[in-house]
Structure 1
């Protein structure tokens, strides 16, 4: 197939945004989450089918901005005090939700005849949750204040740190070295950062924002301060070793109780513009060539099933004290792996610890979980009325 034509930025944004919203409208009319349609729009216009658009760097940049604003917008709607109340349950959900996928991934690959390190890498790729998709579903359904939603968000943040530790351990094993001190340091910085921001961030920001705003003359000064904090905490988050989206979420959460309704509106508008590029970007990366080999089709199906079931069992078990319905919601909410699983797969491939066929299996599984999670969440939350109903 010939390479996709190089498109100017306005044409590229037109094709991606219009395709995303067209597919979203179709899926909404079919009673399904619109964001599933937006992801599938990427599959249709991307390298897998029509080949109109390829994942060029500018689209990757827009995608990263989209997910940053998505988590920032979600954070604005969440109170840190509410999140801290569910911290114990969220920690249990995250711990069990890491151990079960790690074990299942390792067992499946070993049973298939793959080596120890490659099997562990696949298990590690199934560990961490990508909260962007779940956050979008819960935000659209206006259910961010449900207790199960709070636990999903808190557990996903904790999950990111646990995933970082697992990745550090697996990488050390692949290099033939295991340094406890280095792994300990890898864990300490992000944990300290998240605890400080969750516990004292809102209080500090609520005092600082009015003082700074009083000294500024710009008409949208409060919005400007919010955006500066968004990017500042995203940078700090990256330097402590966790994903930038964690910093974006914590920035939103620290501002939620101190900024005006106007800021919420402006952030929501920016999010509506950028999130389609994040969702279409997921679809653009789906590689259907993994299905050329029948044995790989079966392995991919088994790994994908394990990716869903392991989170449902692991995270659900950690939340059983809330009742079966909430446990199922939390389990489904922790299913998406997204870019987190892809990063692990890419690292394994670069180190020579993961073969190209297994890399394809893991990448497809990571992206497919983001595709199946919204319908599962829609099903799990269908009996709960949305705010305003």
Structure 2
């Protein structure tokens, strides 16, 4: 596991040296080590779960700290809401339609589509790269971070209220 972490950090460093984001290198390392089996150590996934608990919290808090809520103007809020709507629609259409075409029922296709709609850490990392590179301003960055938050929160709400809602049975309707 330690060796795998060293390789991931090495790939991240190499990606940074050639002008890419460190996440690109770490992602490539993870993909290349996906099928590696270990004999006398914990599984890579099991070890990563321990680190995820720690680093995911630090990661999201550090990105959230950089958001200046006061930078959100009315135009920024409209941008965030439109971006959130587009983000959800594109994932639902892009995943639900192919699911339906391969034979899933409409309900299951929508479950797949809405399940894929959260935009999380990668969108926020790209936004952070744009912010630190001076490509986007604080208002756009805040809109993207809030869009990531809204798409993540919307999925369980849609699941609970529409897709997994129990329809009353005939007996319950007559009582």
> In angstroms, what is the RMSD of aligned CA positions?
2.5
Unpaired runs of 5+ residues, structure 2, are: 169-175
- Residue in 2 aligned with 1:110? 100
Q: How many residues align?
A: 159
- Residue in 2 aligned with 1:121? 111
2:164 equivalent to 1:171: yes
Tell me the distance in 1 between the aligned counterparts of 2:139 and 2:62: 18
- Residue in 2 aligned with 1:63? 52
- Residue in 1 aligned with 2:154? 162
Tell me the distance in 2 between the aligned counterparts of 1:91 and 1:161: 14
* CA deviation string 1:19-52 (max 9, x = no partner): 1111112223343322111122122233x2x324
Unpaired runs of 5+ residues, structure 1, are: 1-11, 180-389
Asked if 2 retains the 8 angstrom alpha-carbon contact of 1:90 and 1:155, the reply is yes
Q: Give the C-alpha shift of residue 92 in structure 1.
A: 2.3
Q: Give the C-alpha shift of residue 98 in structure 1.
A: 1.6
* CA deviation string 1:313-369 (max 9, x = no partner): xxxxxxxxxxxxxxxxxxxxxxxxxxxxxxxxxxxxxxxxxxxxxxxxxxxxxxxxx
Over 3 Å counting, the alpha-carbon distance change for 1:81 and 1:147 in structure 2 is: closer
- Residue in 1 aligned with 2:141? 149
* TM-score, with length taken from structure 2: 0.75
2:128 equivalent to 1:139: yes
| Structure 1 residue matching 2:44: 3-state secondary structure | coil
2:40 equivalent to 1:51: no
2:4 equivalent to 1:16: yes
2:73 equivalent to 1:81: no
- Residue in 2 aligned with 1:34? 22
2:87 equivalent to 1:94: no
- Residue in 1 aligned with 2:172? none
Asked if 1 retains the 8 angstrom alpha-carbon contact of 2:73 and 2:139, the reply is no
Higher relative contact order (CA 8 A, sep 6+): 1
| Structure 2 residue matching 1:129: 3-state secondary structure | coil
Alignment of 1:293-304 (within 5 A): none
Asked if 1 retains the 8 angstrom alpha-carbon contact of 2:95 and 2:112, the reply is yes
| Structure 2 residue matching 1:55: 3-state secondary structure | helix
* CA deviation string 1:42-79 (max 9, x = no partner): 22233x2x3244211x4213113212111111122222
Asked if 1 retains the 8 angstrom alpha-carbon contact of 2:68 and 2:142, the reply is no
Q: Give the C-alpha shift of residue 84 in structure 1.
A: 6.0
Over 3 Å counting, the alpha-carbon distance change for 1:129 and 1:111 in structure 2 is: same
Tell me the distance in 2 between the aligned counterparts of 1:147 and 1:104: 28
* CA deviation string 1:95-124 (max 9, x = no partner): 232233223322222222222232122211
Tell me the distance in 2 between the aligned counterparts of 1:36 and 1:154: 23
Tell me the distance in 1 between the aligned counterparts of 2:122 and 2:148: 12
